């Protein structure tokens, strides 16, 4: 079942077209990550999907409700942890959470606050003023506030930006626990390792479009552009000469011949013709970072 479906979403601010036709769907119970550089349009898309801003064009459904026609229905079914922290510094953590719980009309306020503050490790300083919190503590309190409504769909806009590594691991753990409870998480990040470690699926947003989408594993495999050929060590020199004579681009790395996938057939044929034994041919796994760079680097010939 799809919790979110978008079709051709566009958004312009004046003459600047930030989103140029975004289509994807998010399945129930997955951690779906929108990965993109600063200014790629992640928050713009989150604002649209959470009904805070209207798209310039296209359609979207959240829990089968049309974004344009039923925004009020959608608002009751989602929570948003926005990129800028929305806490009152002069209140304690507890007072902030109580205010939000009251606004949401939650009945068992104390029970709910105890539950969210325990799961985010906030109990120790929940009665201190927020002005005394560190950035990571504030971020966790802000996430706790967005969990108050206990909705099945949660939008987290860069939840770990500005958070130290230890607290980031805590936040990842909480996000996974929420997913394991059956909630759907729509996350944005500019951190590749975060997307890789946390996501069930990742969508790269670049130049206003989704340039790649898939599981972290699929994305890494999808981009198998390089192959390596293993030959006996004694044949490396001869192999290099044979490939160079055919004008094939390659490089030698740790006794393997590495080359573009497009040249693989010709290279194998060349080596066999030169009577060189081939031990193994394997695709080279790219890191998510390399996939990301490939997807975001403009083709100079375009």
Using CB under 6 A as the criterion, which residues of the chain lie in contact with ligand ATP when the complex forms? Answer: 13, 18, 36, 38-44, 83, 190
d(CA 290, CA 223): 9
d(CA 1, CA 247): 51
Q: Does 43 bind Mg ion (CB under 5 A)?
A: yes
Contact 100, 173 (CB under 8 A): no
d(CA 227, CA 236): 16
Q: Which lies closer to ligand ATP via its Cβ, residue 36 or residue 55?
A: 36
Which letter, b or e, does each residue of 181-198 get, where b requires 16 or more Cβ atoms within 10 Å of its Cβ? eebbbbbbbeebebbbeb
Query: SS3 for 33?
Result: strand
- Binding partner selected for residue 44 from Mg ion, ligand ATP, none, CB under the kind-specific 5 to 8 Å limit: ligand ATP
Question: Whole-number minimum distance, CB 82 to Mg ion, in Å?
Answer: 9
Residue 232 to residues 141, 241, 259, 260, 278: CA-CA distances in angstroms? Answer: 59, 15, 17, 20, 7
Q: Does 44 bind Mg ion (CB under 5 A)?
A: no
Q: Which lies closer to ligand ATP via its Cβ, residue 52 or residue 272?
A: 52
Q: Which lies closer to Mg ion via its Cβ, residue 6 or residue 227?
A: 6
Question: Whole-number minimum distance, CB 271 to Mg ion, in Å?
Answer: 50
Segment near Mg ion (CB under 5 A), from 62-70, 83-91, 110-118, 281-289?
Answer: 83-91
Q: Which lies closer to ligand ATP via its Cβ, residue 12 or residue 123?
A: 12
Q: Does 47 bind Mg ion (CB under 5 A)?
A: no
Where do contacts with Mg ion occur on this chain (CB under 5 A)?
42-43, 83
């Amino acid at each position: 079942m799809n919790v979110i479906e978008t079709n051709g979403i566009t958004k312009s601010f004046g003459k600047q077209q930030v989103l140029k036709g975004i289509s994807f769907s998010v399945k129930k119970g997955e951690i779906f990550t929108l990965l993109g550089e600063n200014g790629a349009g992640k928050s713009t898309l989150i604002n649209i999907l959470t009904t805070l801003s209207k798209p310039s064009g296209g359609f979207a459904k959240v829990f089968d409700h049309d974004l344009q026609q039923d925004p009020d229905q959608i608002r009751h079914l989602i929570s948003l942890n926005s990129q800028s922290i929305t806490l009152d510094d002069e209140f304690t953590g507890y007072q902030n959470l109580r205010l939000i719980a009251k606004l949401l009309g939650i009945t068992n306020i104390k029970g709910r606050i105890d539950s969210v503050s325990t799961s985010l490790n906030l109990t120790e300083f929940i009665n201190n003023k927020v002005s005394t919190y560190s950035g990571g503590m504030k971020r966790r309190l802000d996430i706790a506030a967005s969990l108050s409504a206990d909705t099945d769909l949660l939008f987290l806009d860069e939840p770990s930006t500005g958070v130290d590594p230890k607290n980031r691991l805590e936040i990842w753990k909480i996000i996974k626990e929420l997913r394991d409870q059956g909630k759907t998480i729509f996350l944005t990040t500019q951190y590749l390792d975060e997307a890789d470690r946390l996501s069930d699926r990742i969508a790269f947003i670049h130049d206003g479009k989704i340039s790649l989408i898939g599981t972290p594993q699929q994305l890494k495999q999808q981009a198998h552009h390089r192959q390596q050929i293993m030959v006996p060590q004694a044949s490396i020199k001869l192999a290099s000469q044979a490939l160079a004579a055919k004008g094939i681009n390659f490089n030698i790395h740790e006794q393997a011949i590495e080359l573009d996938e497009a040249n693989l057939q010709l290279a194998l044929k060349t080596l066999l013709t030169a009577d060189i034994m081939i031990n193994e041919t394997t695709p080279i796994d790219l890191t998510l970072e390399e996939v990301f760079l490939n997807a975001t680097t403009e083709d100079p010939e375009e």
